[in-house]
Chains A and B, each alone.
Chain A
Amino acid sequence: MQRLESTLISVMQNAQKLGYEGRRKRLRPVVEETHDLAGIAQLAAGRHWNDFTADQRKRYVAAFSELSVATYADRFDGYAGETFKLQGERKLESGDVLVQSVLAERGGGATRFDYVLRQSEGRWAIVNIIADGVSDLAIKRSEYSGIVRTHGADELIARIRSKTAETGKGKSP
């Protein structure tokens, strides 16, 4: 958790020097290590996951991971004195752990980040991020299942890929 946040701050501080590609390179290993990207992808697909073929699952998880890293690289693109403050953690009934953190801006604004961590294959990793009460997974599951329901899994994978490409476009390399 602390590793993710300290990397994010350092990426923000060096955002210009690194450029979009540089930020992506710096963030990828940290995001992959701190997030259970395969687990998040599966949860985001909701019950449609069961209908995906093995090949679709593989392509979907890979595309989803790329988009997650790209979103981080896109969003943490500058530094204005923000700091993360860990507020504490508690165990949920499900066995998951909720870590509460606040991203404070210098001007006085603050965003609450709640991370839900789950243990899988012996390591604890993020499975959901709730920013000011808005759950990332809940949004994604609604979006993704809507797309799968009307257009199918391949269209979802295609859209995730084109979103990733679009995010990288027009950015300094």
Chain B
Amino acid sequence: MIALTRAARAILATLLLASCAVTSPREESRDPWEGWNRRVFTFNERVDRAVLKPVSEAYVKVVPSTMRRGVSNFFDNLTYINVIANALLQGKPAQAYADTGRFIINTTLGMGGLLDIATPAGVPRNDEDFGQTLGVWGVGEGPYLVLPLLGPSTFRDVPRYVFSALVHPLNYYSGDSAVAPALGGLSVVDQRAQARGAFELIDAAALDRYIFVREAYRQRRLFLIYDGKPPLAPLKPEAPGAEPPLPGESGAAAPQR
């Protein structure tokens, strides 16, 4: 099993690295399509202000928090097959085992995932997806990309949308044809409602919303790839004219004054 993942890793990493080798590590070139990205970003923000923001605000106002928590738990649980599959792909069988236990407990005793019984029982939620798996395999993040409606992403993170759709139970639901779209819509509203704190922070602190979101996205992804323990000193060569590392970013940071 381990040998197999190792071989698969090596092959995939070679394939993907070959296609990423053209991107240079210089800071500016990590966002070579900034002009286009900014236009999509503005479009997404307009859609958010017109539809998602008001709908999710109404949802938060009308639906009691215990019910909203149930909804969040339910959708979290549905994405858990994705989490388990990617824990395995990243060579973390112990975590995948715990995640499977969590999925079974919450699906059965937790009434289809509405209740999260596993967390208080000491089996916390993990966050894995195929973009992180590619990162663990050594694939570089590639250029930054803003996707219409989906939001911030990078080259490396694009395949995760396909992967998570493939392992999402709702996509295999064959009953009433109105159920899947209705649940899909609710899931989007739930996600926006959960992210409202982040949106408020952007409103309060961002001078350039586009750059704020881009940097926050990249750092957050790195944090997730390393499961919350990103290395303090990134092992990359200093690009000419690069800024010195910031406090907390690298062990080598020296005070400027």
Contacts and interface: CB of A to CB of B under 8 A. Distances in A.
Q: A and B from one assembly? A: yes
B247 A134 contact: no
Interface in A44-100: 46-47, 49, 67, 70-71, 74-75, 92-94, 96, 98
B206 A143 contact: yes
B1 interface: no
Given A93-B252, A133-B219, A138-B219, A71 B205 contact: yes
B251 interface: yes
B35 interface: no
A134 B216 contact: yes
Interface residues of B, number: 40
Interface string A122-152: 0000011010111101110111111100000
Nearest to B222: A133
A96 B248 contact: yes
B69 interface: yes
A146 B211 contact: yes
Dominant SS at the A interface? helix
Given A43-B247, A46-B243, A134 B204 contact: no
Nearest to B254: A94
Contact of A47 (B207, B230, B243): B243
A25 interface: no
A12 B118 CA distance: 30
Contacts of A49: 256
Given A42-B256, A108-B119, A120-B255, A135 B206 contact: no
Contacts of B206: 143
B166 interface: no
Contact of A75 (B69, B120, B200): B200
A173 interface: no
Nearest to A98: B248
B208 A146 contact: yes
B69, B212, B246 — most chain A CB neighbours (10 Å): B246
Given A42-B257, A128-B249, 8 more contacts: A93-B233, A93-B252, A94-B250, A133-B230, A134-B223, A137-B246, A137-B247, A138-B219
9 closest Cβ contacts across the A-B interface?
A133-B223, A93-B251, A116-B248, A116-B247, A139-B215, A94-B253, A128-B247, A74-B204, A127-B247
25 contacts: A43-B246, A43-B247, A43-B256, A47-B241, A70-B204, A92-B253, A93-B233, A93-B251, A93-B252, A94-B254, A108-B116, A108-B119, A112-B228, A118-B247, A127-B247, A130-B248, A132-B220, A133-B230, A134-B215, A137-B249, A139-B211, A139-B215, A143-B206, A145-B243, A163-B205
